[in-house]
Amino acid sequence: MTKLTQIQKAENFLALHHAKEAFLMPNAWDAGSAILLAQAGFNAIGTTSAGIAFAKGLPDYTNRLSRADNMAAIAHISNAVDLPVSGDTESGYGHKLEDVRDTITLTIKTGAVGASLEDYSGDKTLGLYDIEEATDRVSAAVEAIKASGIPLVLTARAECFLAGHDNALSESIKRLNRYREAGAHCLYAPGPTDKQTIATLVNEVEGPVNIVAGLSADALSVAELSELGVQRISTGGSLARACLATLRATATELMTSGTFSFASNAIPDAELSSLFAKGQDQEK
């Protein structure tokens, strides 16, 4: 089977954002998790900087995951599957517009066909970037995309809910519409989980909206989110955290009872080896 080019992947990814139904984009943190997600039949995969940080024993949201390490992980994931991959590039790794351009350029070089840009500065003393500065940062990302010749899909994020903004919903809507005007293809305000807030976002934001799901067992289903008009559904770091929860529960069982019930759910070595051998062929 002929591998898709990066441009073809980018075009396919953008088309998903304008399809009649929502699509689910789970988030991988390494090549192995990406290959398993691809095997499940998803049409696109996102990366999770939280999951990548956790795999390195680092905390999330603290600027501890370097751009170089994040880019290396995005490259491994992008090259392991013949699917569109959107890279979680946090807030662009720097306050200058040139930093944003460089980060987007590096992301494109990894083979990814999507990138996300947060408007939280990463500095607790600075908080959210001013809306004008944040919009300029989206414009800088768009400039880098145009210069590359690869039609990368840019997701602009309004971090108002996570940053504790007093008027998080209205501020998110205002910011996301500005980012759309600046050239962002997908809009994302992480935080809301209830139908009313999500419906308001979808109805008042002028572009495809991403909602993160799976943060709790009673989260809205894909069907429910699609009915509300959500176009893209991601999982953030929740899959990585679920895997780590399984590991912790297994470790507890080993230490407390000395039993090995986890083995009944383990994927056979031969099956994983065969699957990952195909992933190695994909990277060549």
Where does the pLDDT of residue 52 fall: very low under 50, low under 70, confident under 90, or very high at 90 and above?
very high
Bridge partners (DSSP) of residue 209 are 187
Q: Closest Cα to residue 71, out of 34, 41, 112, 32?
A: 112
Q: Which residue has the tokens 């501890």?
A: 64
Give CA–CA dist 258/268, Å, rounded. 22
Where does the pLDDT of residue 63 fall: very low under 50, low under 70, confident under 90, or very high at 90 and above?
confident
What percent of the chain has a predicted confidence (pLDDT) above 70? 98
- Nearest-10 crossing angle of helices 67-80, 31-40: 40
Q: How many CB atoms lie within 10 A of CB 127?
A: 15
| Assigned token pair, 250 | 């297994």
- What tens digit of pLDDT does each residue of 219-263 get? 999 999 999 999 999 999 999 999 999 999 999 999 999 999 999
Contacts of residue 98, defined as CB under 8 A and 6 or more positions apart, other chains included, come to: 140
Planar angle of CA 122, 124, 125, nearest 5 degrees? 120
Give CA–CA dist 276/284, Å, rounded. 13
Does residue 268 surpass a pLDDT of 80?
A: yes
Bridge partners (DSSP) of residue 103 are none
- HEC assignment per residue over the chain: CCCCCHHHHHHHHHHHCCCCCCEEECEECCHHHHHHHHHHCCCCEEECHHHHHHHCCCCCCCCCCCHHHHHHHHHHHHHHCCCCEEEECCCCCCCCHHHHHHHHHHHHHCCCCEEEEECECCCCCCCECCHHHHHHHHHHHHHHHHHHCCCCEEEEECCHHHHCCCCHHHHHHHHHHHHHHCCCCEEECCCCCCHHHHHHHHHHCCCCEEEECCCCCCCCCHHHHHHHCCCEEECCCHHHHHHHHHHHHHHHHHHHCCCCHHHHHCCCHHHHHHHHHHHHHHHC
Where does the pLDDT of residue 2 fall: very low under 50, low under 70, confident under 90, or very high at 90 and above?
confident
| Assigned token pair, 25 | 């984009």
CATH architecture of 6-283: Alpha-Beta Barrel (3.20)
Do the beta carbons of residue 230 and residue 22 sit within 8 Å?
yes
Computed on alpha carbons and rounded to an integer, the radius of gyration of the chain in Å comes to 19
The model carries a pTM of 0.95
pLDDT at residue 281 in the model: 64
Domain locations in the chain?
6-283
